[in-house]
Chain A
């Protein structure tokens, strides 16, 4: 990054005014870890947004409201009924990066291997963007393309709203990697609820083996209303394989990732189902 100056505002309105006035000449900086992957030599003024009080996790009208500059490590440490993002934070690189990177920074400009978009899609989260007026963008819309397209100069992601899991619901998450801090080669997440022995609702999404994080709606359709179980999960996974074009990386072929997806879809469905039945180990 070619920063020519830096600003350290302490109020949201001050930061927004600066970003708006400076336009493309400025850029919000949270954990600043993105520069490892994005070598942008355009001269810019860095506006540090970590001193605006946009951090912390709280319960608001039943939902979790996560401040955009909350460090990923705090998501790992946080505990409350219905909170599952600690499982996603745990898979996020390393503790030193979890201590620096913010959850907001990790979903404004995403990579195929980014962890949070996949989980936030299945959790049906909403992103709160503060601009001249506040906008609440649902996860399907927010992640349909590179999220930074939703932002104008002066707009900031200020919070992420996540509905908690309730009784009868379960969450599954899998990140395929070769070492603990490796990038994901395939990410899958599922949220499922069981009503009277049948799948009541299901959201399942994939990342990394696909260009952008994406819902696997064919798997969802195949399972909603069905009696859950290994055979049914395997059938649904087959349906999901046809829905997207699976993509290999780092020496893993497209076919291998496709095969892996058939196995791991069943795994995340099983994890979510077991938790929904109250059997999470």
Chain B
């Protein structure tokens, strides 16, 4: 075991980790189970978290790689009582069925909107091209996420 420190959802935290521990496993054993494991191979996006402003797959990231970095997980952006606008939009649009892909979708969309608040459909398509959903068919997810873009709000 070796200790690492990083900023997790706005607070500096230290964790003892195994050198070959994946970041997803560290999060989940620490009680942050909102981040899901779908494929464990970087191919589905259900484990998406934001590291230094960029959406990455936590299943293929080693925990030591986040030492000193700024990390956001789904738990950090909103909860049942105070949901993030992206979470509200997903629920309102009926874009959640089993919900397994939802935290990853929301985090990938948040990283995009943080970088480009007026992101358009092309941006969402490109930035969420690694986030798979096996239930919804994507249309409602697209509608929900796009409704949170400043571009879409300006048009309506």
Contacts and interface: CB of A to CB of B under 8 A. Distances in A.
B56 A93 contact: no
7 contacts: A1-B62, A3-B20, A36-B60, A45-B19, A97-B57, A99-B54, A100-B61
Interface string A30-47: 001101100000000110
B57 to A, nearest CB: 5
A280 B106 CA distance: 35
List 5 A-B pairs, minimum CB-CB distance, nearest first: A94-B130, A99-B54, A6-B64, A3-B19, A96-B130
Contact of B130 (A32, A45, A50, A97): A97
B71 interface: no
B65 interface: yes
Given A96-B42, A96-B56, A32 B129 contact: no
Contacts of A181: 43, 129-130
Contacts, number: 79
Nearest to A95: B127
Nearest to A77: B115
B129 A33 contact: no
B20 A99 contact: no
Contact of B62 (A36, A46, A95): A46
Nearest to B17: A6
A73 interface: yes
B42 A1 contact: no
A218 B98 CA distance: 54
A4 interface: yes
Q: Which of B2, B56, B57 has the most CB of A within 10 A?
A: B56
A96 B108 contact: yes
